[in-house]
Structure formats: structure tokens, C-alpha cells
Amino acid sequence: NAGVTQTPKFQVLKTGQSMTLQCAQDMNHNSMYWYRQDPGMGLRLIYYSASEGTTDKGEVPNGYNVSRLNKREFSLRLESAAPSQTSVYFCASSEVGGTGYSNQPQHFGDGTRLSIL
């Protein structure tokens, strides 16, 4: 059981380049999330998808777009990368999100380490 799989694991970009981070889960979860992790900041939510067909902004959405391709896959796109987007990006999923289901834990991928020069 792979859980949450993220690709690529490492990437170096030049300022202004674009790229898409891929995430797939095999747990039949409804909700998926993208976080970024920066030193001393914990994890901050970029975007989430409570269910297939819906996406919503999180705490730090500027400079990013997302696509919930199907129930399994949730991609994060940087249209024009900036050095401030150098970070470790984590995808997560949970069985259900939203009101009344706050006790469902999230399952995380191993992260994508992204450097933008």
C-alpha cells in the first residue's frame, strides 16, 4: 500500500520557469491538501480539495494553482517560479474533510524539495 506518492522528490528551477508537482493517493480518500514547509514556520496550507471537483485556497495560495484531476490525483502548479517559493512541499489526504469530521487524520507523502534559483 503506497499511501500518498509525490513526484518528483527533488527539483531545481530557474526564476520564471513553470512546473507541476504531482500527488496521488491510493486510499480512496475524499480530501487532499498541499502544504509548504519552511524552517521555523511549520506547515502552511496552500490549497485543498475537500472532494473531487472542488478546490479552495488555504493560507498561502498566491503564486500557485491546483487541479483535482480525479479522486486519486491532486497537482500543484507554479506558473512562474520565484525564489520565495523555495520550500519543501507536502501533499496529504484524509478520508473526509469538513464540518463534523474533524477527527480524521491526514496522511502525508514524503515531500518534494524544490529550489528556485
Partner 1 sequence: GNSVTQMEGPVTLSEEAFLTINCTYTATGYPSLFWYVQYPGEGLQLLLKATKADDKGSNKGFEATYRKETTSFHLEKGSVQVSDSAVYFCALKGQAGTALIFGKGTTLSVSS
Q: Tell me which residues touch partner 1 (CB under 8 A).
A: 4, 31, 33, 40-45, 48, 50, 56, 58, 90, 92, 97-100, 102-111
Cβ atoms 109, 93 nearer than 8 A: no
Q: 32 or 81: whose CB is closer to partner 1?
A: 32
Q: 17 or 113: whose CB is closer to partner 1?
A: 113
Q: Extract the C-alpha cell encoding 42.
A: 511549520
Q: 53 or 100: whose CB is closer to partner 1?
A: 100
Please state, in angstroms and rounded to a whole number, the distance separating the CA atoms of residues 41 and 49: 23
Compute the least distance from the CB of residue 16 to partner 1, in Å: 29
Sign of the CA dihedral with 68 first, then 47, 89, and 97 last: negative
∠ CA 84-89-93, nearest 5°, is 145
Compute the least distance from the CB of residue 55 to partner 1, in Å: 11
How far does the chain reach from its first CA to its final CA, in angstroms? 36
Compute the least distance from the CB of residue 58 to partner 1, in Å: 6
Cβ atoms 108, 89 nearer than 8 A: no
Compute the least distance from the CB of residue 94 to partner 1, in Å: 9
Q: 16 or 98: whose CB is closer to partner 1?
A: 98
